[in-house]
Amino acid sequence: MSTLTAPETAPVRTSNGFWWLLWALYTTQFIGASFLSTGLVGILRDGGTDLGTLGLLQLLALVWPLKFLWAPLLDRWSPGRSRGHFRSWLLVLQPLMVVSLLAMAVVGDPQDGLGAVVALAAAFVVFSATQDIAADALSVRGLTSEQHDLGAGIQVGASYIGTVIGGGLALLVYEAWGWRVAVVVLALCTALAMVPVLRHSETERVVPDPEVGRLSAMFGVLSVPGARVWGLVAVPLVALGSAAVWSLVTPALVDAGWSLGFIGTVTSVVAAVPALGAALLGGRLCRRYGRGVTLLIGAAIQLLGGLCFVPVVWSALAVPHGAQVGLGVVGACGVLAGYTVMNTGIYAVNLDISRPGHAGADFTLLSSISMLGGTIGASAGLVLASITGYGVSLVLGLALVVLGVLLCRSHPLLARH
């Protein structure tokens, strides 16, 4: 086992292979994650699984916001020093992700073997969340500050490729060839990431440091000037408001009379395509106009998307069905694309303030706090909608996003961008 501190020198040149490595790692994380949150839920519901069981299955997602608890351990220890500190973690975790998916294929019917499927899903979530820590650490340590904008775009954009594969393609394969083929296809897609992992060479000077990986240093990134307000207030507000708005999309469209199949296509596939483009655009906007302007542009896109939902959630407007469908599709795309643009700017700043010697723990903590805000926002948005109706919840969610962006914009961390 090895102990890690900051690299001897900052990276000078990033190879094309490293960029492909980032694309592969972040895509495969969300192939499985999207399958568990969308594809598997649809398959189990189609087979008659009750909503209560499906709701409990969603609790597995809480592993991701909690992964900061063991992130310092990955900074401190490594399974194999000679193969690269974080690369050696990937050499263990990526195959475990593949094996857990292949093991699901052994279960002939997910309904009859529901207990085994849930156990394997839980294992996959733990493996993928831990793989994310190693991937984030490689991003922090392998990219120069000038490359953080592009790196953030790849991090966010790759997640939507994974979402399309895990949430959309998996259901199409399932309908055509069944459960086992669908799971094997996802496993093979996940296994492809091993190619850039095996080709990657992680070189660094490793020096013992008693502070790296200690629980006492877990929240050390918040001592970076400006990081406390950024990580604990501004960014969580953006995540909370965006998640509240997005949580309304599916139930609002159901209540508007849309079919479940069409809703799934719109939210998991159609909306993911402009979101991928928005992630790549966000990286370019950050480099050209700065992170503050990028956040404003993202908020404006999300605001327009949210306004498109007004005729959908407010039946008093009596908009023709065709126009309502069009506005609903545009609204879903706008809400998700706007959040993606904002997230690109946010991730770029997170890369800036993460300390190289604590790369896994720092970036993971910042993203975990944001995820927790999103989890609370999604729940609060639905609860508020049940009390006051969709309209009030929609407006409040958008207002929180604007407030969070304004706090980000006024913050010293964005003053130099």
pLDDT tens-digit map of 138-149: 988 888 888 888
Distance CA 294, CA 338 (A): 10
What average pLDDT does range 143-168 have in this prediction?
Answer: 86
pLDDT at 1 over 50: no
One-letter amino acid at 258 equals W
Percent of the chain scoring above 70 in pLDDT: 90
- Residue pair 350/367 in contact (Cβ under 8 Å)? The answer is yes
- Indicate the average pLDDT of the chain: 84
- pTM (predicted TM-score): 0.79
What average pLDDT does range 169-181 have in this prediction?
Answer: 85
Alpha-carbon dihedral angle through residues 299, 300, 305, 309, given to the nearest 10 degrees: 90
pLDDT at 295 over 70: yes
In the structure encoding, which two tokens stand for residue 361, read together? 């723990």
Nearest Cα neighbor of 162 from 70, 284, 28 is 28
- Residue pair 367/136 in contact (Cβ under 8 Å)? The answer is yes
- Residue pair 6/164 in contact (Cβ under 8 Å)? The answer is no
Per-residue pLDDT band at 106 (split at 50, 70, 90): very high
Instruction: List, in order of start, the domains of the chain with CATH numbers.
Output: 16-202 (1.20.1250.20), 220-415 (1.20.1250.20)
- Residue pair 22/158 in contact (Cβ under 8 Å)? The answer is yes
Distance CA 359, CA 22 (A): 15
Residues 305-363: tens digit of each pLDDT:
999 988 887 765 667 777 888 998 999 999 999 999 999 999 889 888 888 778 788 88
